[in-house]
Structure 1
Amino acid sequence: MTVDEGTIVARAISDGQDRLLSADEPLAALQLRCGGDIPGMIAVPELLDLVGRARRACVRMTQAISAQDGNDAITFWVEADPEGEGCAIVVRSWQTAALISEDGAVAEERRVAIDRQIAELTAWLDSGQRLIAANTDCSELAPLADAMAQGVGRCWTDFLQPENVTHQQPLHWRLLDGGPVVFAGSSRPWRVSLIPQIRPGFEPSGFELLLLSDQAPSDCVAIPQAAAPVPPRGLVGQDLAPVLKQPIARIVANAETIRTRLAGPLPDAYAEYAGEIAGAGKLLLDLLDDMADLEVVEADSFSTTADYIDLSDVARQAAGILGVRAREKGISITTPAPADSAPALAEFRRVLQVLLNLIGNAIRYSPEGTSVDVRVDVNGDRARAIVADEGPGLSLEEQGRVFEKFERLGRSGDGGSGLGLYISRRLARAMNGELSIESAPGQGARFILEVPLDPEG
């Protein structure tokens, strides 16, 4: 029902502890359906906040209140007037409207975001569900990640056995997505999430595989990557990150559940609060990853292991991993043609890490509807990967600062830590290479990764 703004719909009385002592309908019914009692603590969060502030300040306060009642959204105007130890509450302009359910595509995006935050192992697959790379920070999964890294080119189901499936693998990815899997070395229940890299009307060009468990590990510590020497013990990477990442990931997952109203109806304001919590949690997780990488690359003993790679292949893989993010922003990525070749001697995982950072930055800072060009070439005894964008470009002074630690060139609110390019240059130099930039204001930027050429490639 709808009542004119000047009409009093209901009256109520609260005490000095913000308990509702008495209330007229329909406020009384809403109090009960929200889990409260009369007398009892005010059960509508926004109303509780308003009454508490008015009581403590001893000032009459008014505010529009939103609440959910089953499948209905309720909006009403409240006047809270301090009286005695509590408040006299007047309700006006009571309005009811049906809740609008969230679009299915949006809900799926939220599910994927939650899965990415709580995944304990991430792998990247080609269009045939064959392994490209795998990564984990959990010691329990270290043997599995090592085996998958050694098994590049094999189907992921050779390492993660789908439960209760006897058909020849791989099945269609939709039949495997979300299904339980088992593997040696863990008694926890596990499931996989397969995220396709896909364009409408086409088959997936690759997949992101997430390994998840709803049961927290009893003892999960960060591990050194298999291909690199073990660095000295670091405070963040080996002590803080493993302790903090799991609870922060759970906070993010729960906040996303609240924000998307998967746990039940919620006012828009509180859904926005939950979204801010989830966003802050994701920033913390990214910062922990960057700080752990920073410890590794700044260690005196840090070095890389040279692999025989082709920068063209690695560039296409990096672009494929970030394809969904680019399409969400309306940005196209041009990758090296299959015939292009730049054979190199450099560590595959570190080159992939650098290119993911460069392409990710290009997507983040480029205007919607532009393109990012990724190409490779050979220059003397160097193999080069070049990432060019159509962003705002950088001045000479900014180019001199862009590789400094924690440097963000005055940008705020973009989620970056200011460590990505610093770490990427350290990685390039550890591989006897270099990372440089060519740019001008208004003309975009070209980041050039150089690593030693494979003379026999």
Structure 2
Amino acid sequence: TVAHDLKNPLQGIVGYASLLVSDISQFGTAEVVHYLQVITQYGERMSAIINELLLLATVRKQGDVAFGTVDMARVIDNVLLRLDYLIRHQHAEITINVTEWPATWGYAPWIEEVWANYISNAIKYGGKPPSVELGTDQINGQTRFWVRDNGSGIPLDKTDQLFTEFNRLEQTHLEGYGLGLSIVRRVIDRLGGEVGVESAPGQGSTFFFSLPLMVKPETDPHG
């Protein structure tokens, strides 16, 4: 549940902070730095969960959203900048297999969160070190965008659960997928697209989302 997802990192923050407060002098510099890093990671996890809940609340609203042309290259740049620390910390390799991103109609802030979720998951649950590929193709009249990792893969009987709201899979290394991916599904549903994953144990995973195909207007040669 969401309560557990928030409670667990909060307990970690309180626990490690209490150790330092009780008598910081008993720890060496390396230990203090380690505990502070753990506290920071727990805090970032809580912040991510709260941001996802706020996004979910926004997506659920029935008010109008200003859809428009999305500059996907710029969206990707923003996401990679946001995730720069995670990329560096995990020594992740990010490969973009796209010469020019296709024109897309949607809502850039939502789409940015979808990419951020997919890419951060690929880094966290990918191989060691993570190798992450980004790409796009066209299928059944829609533009599909995907993120492929080099992780251990996901059993077929678990993939259907990934996009279920507030679900937590039993495997420890998959814990945390559910909340973010349920929001991804809601976002893409609102944008008229689809989400999914292709995966098998030992073969990595490819998470994708699709959006209705947008045809670029032709340039008028007569001005």
Q: TM-score, normalized by length of structure 2?
A: 0.74
Conserved in 2, the CA contact under 8 Å of 1:315 and 1:336? no
- Note closer, same or farther for the CA distance 1:293–1:317 as it changes in structure 2 (3 Å cut): closer
The residue type paired with residue 292 of structure 1 is L
The residue number in structure 1 matching 2:25 is 266
Once the two structures are superposed, the pairs formed by residues 363-382 of structure 1 within 5 Å of their partners are 363-382=123-142
- Note closer, same or farther for the CA distance 1:283–1:424 as it changes in structure 2 (3 Å cut): same
Identity %: 27
The residue number in structure 2 matching 1:352 is 112
Conserved in 1, the CA contact under 8 Å of 2:153 and 2:200? yes
Matched, 1:295 2:54: no
Separation in structure 2 between the aligned mates of residue 394 and residue 415 of structure 1, nearest angstrom: 12
Conserved in 2, the CA contact under 8 Å of 1:315 and 1:385? no
- Note closer, same or farther for the CA distance 1:398–1:329 as it changes in structure 2 (3 Å cut): same
Shift, 1:418, TM fit: 2.8
Matched, 1:334 2:104: no
Q: As a proportion of its length, which structure holds more helix?
A: 2
Shift, 1:273, TM fit: 6.4
The residue number in structure 2 matching 1:426 is 186
| Counterpart selection for 1:438 from 198, 214, 217 | 198
The residue number in structure 1 matching 2:45 is 283
- Note closer, same or farther for the CA distance 1:320–1:274 as it changes in structure 2 (3 Å cut): closer
Shift, 1:449, TM fit: 1.2
| Counterpart selection for 1:456 from 212, 216, 222 | 216
The residue type paired with residue 284 of structure 1 is M
**1:269-321 per-position Cα deviation (integer Å, ceiling 9, x unaligned):** 9947666655544433333222222333334x155432212434433442343
The residue type paired with residue 367 of structure 1 is G
SS at match of 1:406: coil
Shift, 1:438, TM fit: 0.9
SS at match of 2:160: helix
| Counterpart selection for 1:401 from 125, 140, 161 | 161
Separation in structure 1 between the aligned mates of residue 68 and residue 103 of structure 2, nearest angstrom: 10
Separation in structure 2 between the aligned mates of residue 375 and residue 425 of structure 1, nearest angstrom: 19
SS at match of 1:266: helix
Matched, 1:308 2:69: yes
RMSD (Å), alpha carbons: 3.2
Separation in structure 1 between the aligned mates of residue 175 and residue 169 of structure 2, nearest angstrom: 13
Separation in structure 1 between the aligned mates of residue 155 and residue 102 of structure 2, nearest angstrom: 30
Separation in structure 2 between the aligned mates of residue 392 and residue 345 of structure 1, nearest angstrom: 34
- Note closer, same or farther for the CA distance 1:313–1:437 as it changes in structure 2 (3 Å cut): same
Structure 1 spans left out of the alignment, 5+ residues:
1-247
The residue type paired with residue 331 of structure 1 is A
SS at match of 1:418: helix
- Note closer, same or farther for the CA distance 1:284–1:449 as it changes in structure 2 (3 Å cut): same
The residue number in structure 2 matching 1:383 is 143
Once the two structures are superposed, the pairs formed by residues 165-314 of structure 1 within 5 Å of their partners are 266-268=25-27, 271=32, 278-299=40-61, 301=62, 304-314=65-75
SS at match of 2:164: coil
- Note closer, same or farther for the CA distance 1:401–1:324 as it changes in structure 2 (3 Å cut): same
**1:57-115 per-position Cα deviation (integer Å, ceiling 9, x unaligned):** xxxxxxxxxxxxxxxxxxxxxxxxxxxxxxxxxxxxxxxxxxxxxxxxxxxxxxxxxxx
Conserved in 2, the CA contact under 8 Å of 1:346 and 1:431? yes
Larger Rg computed on CA atoms? 1
Separation in structure 2 between the aligned mates of residue 452 and residue 393 of structure 1, nearest angstrom: 28
Separation in structure 1 between the aligned mates of residue 157 and residue 60 of structure 2, nearest angstrom: 25
Once the two structures are superposed, the pairs formed by residues 121-200 of structure 1 within 5 Å of their partners are none
**1:157-205 per-position Cα deviation (integer Å, ceiling 9, x unaligned):** xxxxxxxxxxxxxxxxxxxxxxxxxxxxxxxxxxxxxxxxxxxxxxxxx
Shift, 1:442, TM fit: 1.0
Conserved in 2, the CA contact under 8 Å of 1:392 and 1:441? yes
The residue number in structure 2 matching 1:33 is none
Shift, 1:369, TM fit: 2.2
- Note closer, same or farther for the CA distance 1:286–1:333 as it changes in structure 2 (3 Å cut): same
The residue type paired with residue 351 of structure 1 is I
Conserved in 1, the CA contact under 8 Å of 2:123 and 2:130? no
SS at match of 1:342: coil
**1:192-237 per-position Cα deviation (integer Å, ceiling 9, x unaligned):** xxxxxxxxxxxxxxxxxxxxxxxxxxxxxxxxxxxxxxxxxxxxxx
- Note closer, same or farther for the CA distance 1:282–1:411 as it changes in structure 2 (3 Å cut): farther
Separation in structure 2 between the aligned mates of residue 413 and residue 377 of structure 1, nearest angstrom: 29
- Note closer, same or farther for the CA distance 1:413–1:449 as it changes in structure 2 (3 Å cut): closer
- Greater relative contact order (Cα < 8 A, sep 6+): 2
Conserved in 2, the CA contact under 8 Å of 1:377 and 1:384? yes
- Note closer, same or farther for the CA distance 1:314–1:384 as it changes in structure 2 (3 Å cut): farther
The residue type paired with residue 368 of structure 1 is K
